[in-house]
């Protein structure tokens, strides 16, 4: 059935709102999980108490959280009030602009950081097919199927990489517009880092492109999970580790968070930002983490299928539910990789700047080139 223009637009709007809701639910929960996971890994209490006296509301909240600590699973949620207070603080805090800042660029930078991070989701396939059908009584889109993706662009992967490469402007311009030394140093570091790591990142993603012969997100994720020869497991395995490491560097996360190294640069490129302007930087960093996890799970970890690295081809059809693609598999993989982000942050110390550069140029680019060669060989043999 051919959809009319209005129906297409309304359907796209519904999908966009759904994806935005997903982001705005996952990102705050991720910050909460970050605090708690790191708290557990490093044997700290996490944020299990809030400021205030022993009496009144704050005292009561602290007493409840102390009591929750006696129960195994519930104790994880002891920090929840802190997390909510954190959100309120972020939104209501005073918005300070440095007197000598470049006002327009200062205002533009968080937007330039955030828009590409969100726009990338237009090309991500959450489920390669129809998620469900609207019941017929729904006004405009009644009886129409809802796809598991917003758009199915022919060059989806390139679109994602292109927008991700635009994201660095937010960091660099925000750093420059603050008109202060530490942000500028952080911004320069970040620009050099992101430009260097874009090369191995793209090269590691080219291995799946060679294996499938496509740039379409949906085709690639389905093909990589089910339609590969057994030899393709090797380049996918190497590619995964190269990609996830470069993904850490691209999102400025520990151990590659030199752009905001607290011990050297106060807080890096967003030192002068306060309130919700800082909040947008924060939000885009976590959104980028979701994007990196989504790409890694779609291309290397089997995407919407059960087993990673192309092992899905050994799953017989008799496994029923496990032989089919499911949204839940994809989301579980994404959440696992997000956990890996936090896990790594709790475990590894920060790299030195020259180490970071030498790892990128001397190890990852040759490694991904070799991987590309292996992928080409697999494709040639098949």
Partner 1 sequence: MDSFLASIGQHLFVIFGLIACASAAVMIFSRSAVHSVLAFLFAMLCVSVCYFAQQAEFLGVAQLLVYAGGIVVLFLFVVMLVELSKFKEGGIFQAQAKVAIPLVLAAFGLFAFFFRQALFAAPAKDALTLPAEISGGLDVAANNAQAVSRGLFSGWLLPFEILSVILLVALVGAIVLAKAERA
Query: What DSSP string describes 34-79?
Result: HHHHHHHHTT---S---SS-SSHHHHHHHHHHHHHTTSTTGGGGGG
Instruction: Work out how close the CB of 123 gets to partner 1 at its nearest, in angstroms, rounded to a whole number.
Output: 10
- 366 with 227: CB under 8 angstroms? no
- Check binding of 158 to partner 1 (CB under 8 A): yes
194 torsion bin: left (phi>0), alpha (psi -120 to 50), beta (else): alpha
Considering only 33, 168, 290, 365, the residue that binds partner 1 (CB under 8 A) is 168
Instruction: Work out how close the CB of 108 gets to partner 1 at its nearest, in angstroms, rounded to a whole number.
Output: 8
Q: Say how far apart CA 301 and CA 368 lie, in whole Å.
A: 18
- Check binding of 195 to partner 1 (CB under 8 A): yes
- Check binding of 258 to partner 1 (CB under 8 A): no
* Helix (H/G/I), strand (E/B), else coil: 357: helix
String of contacts with partner 1 for each residue 75-104, x by CB under 8 A? ---------------------------x-x
- 230 with 222: CB under 8 angstroms? no
- 19 with 121: CB under 8 angstroms? yes
Q: Say how far apart CA 118 and CA 379 lie, in whole Å.
A: 34
- Which C-beta is closer to partner 1: that of 154 or that of 229? 154
- Check binding of 3 to partner 1 (CB under 8 A): yes
Residue 345, number of CB atoms within 10 A of its CB: 18
Instruction: Work out how close the CB of 253 gets to partner 1 at its nearest, in angstroms, rounded to a whole number.
Output: 20
* Helix (H/G/I), strand (E/B), else coil: 130: strand
- Check binding of 163 to partner 1 (CB under 8 A): yes
- Check binding of 188 to partner 1 (CB under 8 A): yes
Considering only 31, 58, 165, 274, the residue that binds partner 1 (CB under 8 A) is 165
Q: Say how far apart CA 351 and CA 215 lie, in whole Å.
A: 33
- Provide CB contacts within 8 A for 306, sequence distance 6+: 312, 315, 319, 322, 323, 329
Stretch near partner 1 under the rule CB under 8 A, chosen from 2-10, 129-137, 236-244, 309-317: 2-10
- Check binding of 2 to partner 1 (CB under 8 A): yes
- Check binding of 198 to partner 1 (CB under 8 A): yes
Instruction: Work out how close the CB of 364 gets to partner 1 at its nearest, in angstroms, rounded to a whole number.
Output: 18
Stretch near partner 1 under the rule CB under 8 A, chosen from 171-179, 242-250, 283-291, 302-310: 171-179
Give residues in contact with partner 1 (CB under 8 A). 2-5, 8, 102, 104-105, 108, 153-155, 158-159, 161-166, 168-169, 172-173, 176, 184, 187-188, 191-192, 195, 198, 215
């Amino acid at each position: 059935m051919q959809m009319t223009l209005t129906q297409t637009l309304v359907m796209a709007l519904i999908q966009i709102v759904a994806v935005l809701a997903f982001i705005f639910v996952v990102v705050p929960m991720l910050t909460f999980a970050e605090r708690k996971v790191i708290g557990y890994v490093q044997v700290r209490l996490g944020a299990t108490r809030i400021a205030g006296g022993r009496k009144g509301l704050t005292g009561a909240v602290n007493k409840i959280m102390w009591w929750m600590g006696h129960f195994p699973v519930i104790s994880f949620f002891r920090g929840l009030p802190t997390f909510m207070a954190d959100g309120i603080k972020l939104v209501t805090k005073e918005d300070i602009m440095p007197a000598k800042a470049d006002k327009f660029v200062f205002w533009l930078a968080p937007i330039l950081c955030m828009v590409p991070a969100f726009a990338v989701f237009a090309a991500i396939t959450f489920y390669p097919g129809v998620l469900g059908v609207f019941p017929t009584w729904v006004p405009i889109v009644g009886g129409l199927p809802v796809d598991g993706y917003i758009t199915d662009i022919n060059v989806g992967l390139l679109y994602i990489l292109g927008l991700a490469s635009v994201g660095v402007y937010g960091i660099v311009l925000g750093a420059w517009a603050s008109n202060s030394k530490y942000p500028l140093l952080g911004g320069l570091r970040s620009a050099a880092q992101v430009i260097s790591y874009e090369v191995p990142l793209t090269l590691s993603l080219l291995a799946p492109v060679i294996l499938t012969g496509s740039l379409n997100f949906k085709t690639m994720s389905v093909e990589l999970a089910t339609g590969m020869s057994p030899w393709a497991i090797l380049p996918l395995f190497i590619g995964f580790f190269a990609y996830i490491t470069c993904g850490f560097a691209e999102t400025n996360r520990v151990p590659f968070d030199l752009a905001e190294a607290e011990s050297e640069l106060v807080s890096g490129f967003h030192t002068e930002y306060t309130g919700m302007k800082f909040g947008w930087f924060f939000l885009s960093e976590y959104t980028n983490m979701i994007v990196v996890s989504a790409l890694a799970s779609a291309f290397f970890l089997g995407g919407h299928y059960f087993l990673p690295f192309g092992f899905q081809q050994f799953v017989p059809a008799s496994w029923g539910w496990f032989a089919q693609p499911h949204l839940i598999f994809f989301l579980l993989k994404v959440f696992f990789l997000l956990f890996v982000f936090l896990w790594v942050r709790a475990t590894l110390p920060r790299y030195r700047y020259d180490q970071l550069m030498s790892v990128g140029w001397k190890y990852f680019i040759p490694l991904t080139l070799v991987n590309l060669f292996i992928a080409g060989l697999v494709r040639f043999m098949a």
